[in-house]
Amino acid sequence: MKILHVATTDSGGAGIGMLNIHKALLSHGIDSKILLARKTTSSDTIFQMEPNSRMFHWSSNRFLRKIQRFARNRGYLKTPVEQIHDKINMSSKLCDVPVCFTSPVSTYDMVDHPLVKEADIIHLHWVGDFLDYKSFFSKIDKPVAWTLRDENPGLGGFHYRTDKNNYGKYYEELEDTFFRIKANAIMDNDKLSLVALSDIMIDFCKNVSHLSNKRIYKIYNSIDSNSYFPTEKRTARQVLGFDDNVFTISFVSVFLSDHRKGLDNLMKAVELVEFPVRILCVGKNDFFKDEQGDVFCYGSIENSRLLSLIYSASDVFVNPTLKESFGKTNIEALMSGVPVISTSEGIAPEVIDDECGYLIENTEPQKIAAAIKYVKDKSYNRELIRNKVKDLFSPNKIANQHIDMYNDIISHYTSL
C-alpha cells in the first residue's frame, strides 16, 4: 500500500501531526511519503514540489522584459493567482489583527506529479495556498483521505469560524468566492473521505453542505507518551531555576500573540486572583514587549523532553483557546501529569474531567480566574492524570487505525 501525504509544510502543529502519522506508518512497513510546498525537515521520504502552473512568463527579449516589469509594478499583467493574493494582502492591511486566510487557487497542479501517480491513496492535511481545489478534485482518479486539521475545508479562506465572525467584513467578497470554489470542487466528488480529529470536528463536517455527504472517520493525532512524562514538580522547578511554591501556570502557543489561543485573556485573569502566580510561556514571544516579573518566556521549543519539564514544573496548564480541531498541547500536559484548564474545544471534552482538570464555558477572564482558583484548592494525582491518556494516542494504535481506514477506503473505492 502506497500512501502519499500532501500538506503545505511539515512545520507547526498541523505539520507535526502529519509527521507523527507518517513515522508511525513507516514503522508498520507502509510505503508512506510526503509531498510539500515548503519542506523544513530532512528525510528521503519527504519531498518538496515547485509551482508548475499559472505562473507569469517573462519574455526572453531584454527590452520586452523591462516593459513587463514596468507594467507589473503598476498592477498590470498579473496572473489570476497573483491578483487573488494582491486582494488578500489588501484585505489583511485593512484588518488590524493578523488572521490566517488562504486561497483555494494556487500555482501547483499536483495531479500529474510522479508521487501522486504512484500512490494508492492521497492523504491531504493542512493544504492552504498549496492545493488547487478545482484542478485537483476534477482530475484526481484515485481515493483521497483528508484529515481536517482546522475548519478551512468547510469555509472560504478563513481557517476558523471565530475568525470569520470577527473579521469577515474585511474579507467578505473573497470569503464568498473561495467558499463557492471549494463547494463546487468537493460537493460531487465521490472519491473523498474525511478524517476528524475530535467529535467537535465531526459535528462541524455534518453542518457543511459539501462535507456532510462524505464518509467520515474519527482518528486522533498520534502522541507518544514516552516523549511526555512527569518529572517530580520540585525537581522540574529546580532544573528551571525556581525553588519555591509559587502557583505556576504553563501556556503554549506557536505565536504568543495568536488571539485564538487567548494569552491576553489569561493575563487579565491572573490579575483577578488573590495569590501570587508565575506563568511559563512557550512559543515565539511576539506578545510581551518588556519583562513581566513572574512571566518567563522560553521561546519555541521542539525538544519534547524540555517541554515536558516545563509542564511538570506547573501546577496547571491553561489553554483558553477560542477554537481547536484537536488540541495537542492539552494531551502533552496531561501525559506530563499536569491538570488542564481548557475551553470545550477540540479533544478537551473527550479527555478532561474533574480528576484531571476543568472545562471553562468561555474565554472570559472571570471564568479563567475562577477555574484557576478551583484548581489551586484541589488536590490532583499526577499518575492518575497520565494514565487517563497515555494509551489513547499511542503511535501504534493510531497507525493501525489509519491502516484500517485506508483498507476500508480502497474497498469502498473499488466497489464504486
Co-location of 213 and 146 in the same domain: yes
The whole-number pLDDT of residue 65 equals 75
- The boundaries of the domain holding residue 94 are 2-222+395-414
Co-location of 20 and 111 in the same domain: yes
Is 276 domain-assigned? yes
| Cell 467578505 found at | 172
Is 228 domain-assigned? no
CB contact burial 34-45 (16+ within 10 A = b; e otherwise) = bbbbebeeeeee
Is 177 domain-assigned? yes
pLDDT in tens, 91-102: 988 888 889 999
Is 183 domain-assigned? yes
Q: How far apart are the first and last CA of the chain?
A: 19
Co-location of 368 and 257 in the same domain: yes
The whole-number pLDDT of residue 413 equals 85
Alpha-carbon span 284 to 256, nearest angstrom: 6
Query: Could you give the C-alpha distances from 160 to 47, 133, 195, 321, in angstroms and in order?
Result: 28, 19, 17, 12
Element housing 316 (H / E): strand 316-319
- Quote the number of domains for the chain: 2
Is 227 domain-assigned? no
> In this structure, what C-alpha cell is assigned to residue 229?
512524562
Co-location of 84 and 102 in the same domain: yes
Co-location of 266 and 142 in the same domain: no
The whole-number pLDDT of residue 56 equals 60
Co-location of 138 and 212 in the same domain: yes
Q: Is 140 helix (H, G, I), strand (E, B) or coil?
A: coil
Co-location of 61 and 189 in the same domain: yes
Co-location of 209 and 349 in the same domain: no
Co-location of 304 and 360 in the same domain: yes
Co-location of 274 and 318 in the same domain: yes
Name the packing angle between helices 263-270 and 365-376 (round to 10°): 60
Do 262 and 321 form a contact (C-beta atoms < 8 A)? yes
pLDDT in tens, 217-255: 999 999 999 999 999 999 999 999 998 899 999 999 999
Q: Which CATH number does the domain housing residue 162 bear?
A: 3.40.50.2000
User: Which residue numbers in the chain have pLDDT < 50?
Assistant: none
Co-location of 243 and 369 in the same domain: yes
CB count within 10 Å of CB 385 equals: 23
> In this structure, what C-alpha cell is assigned to residue 82?
497573483
Q: Is 27 helix (H, G, I), strand (E, B) or coil?
A: helix
The whole-number pLDDT of residue 55 equals 60
The whole-number pLDDT of residue 206 equals 96
Instruction: Tell me 279's DSSP state.
Output: E
CB count within 10 Å of CB 349 equals: 15
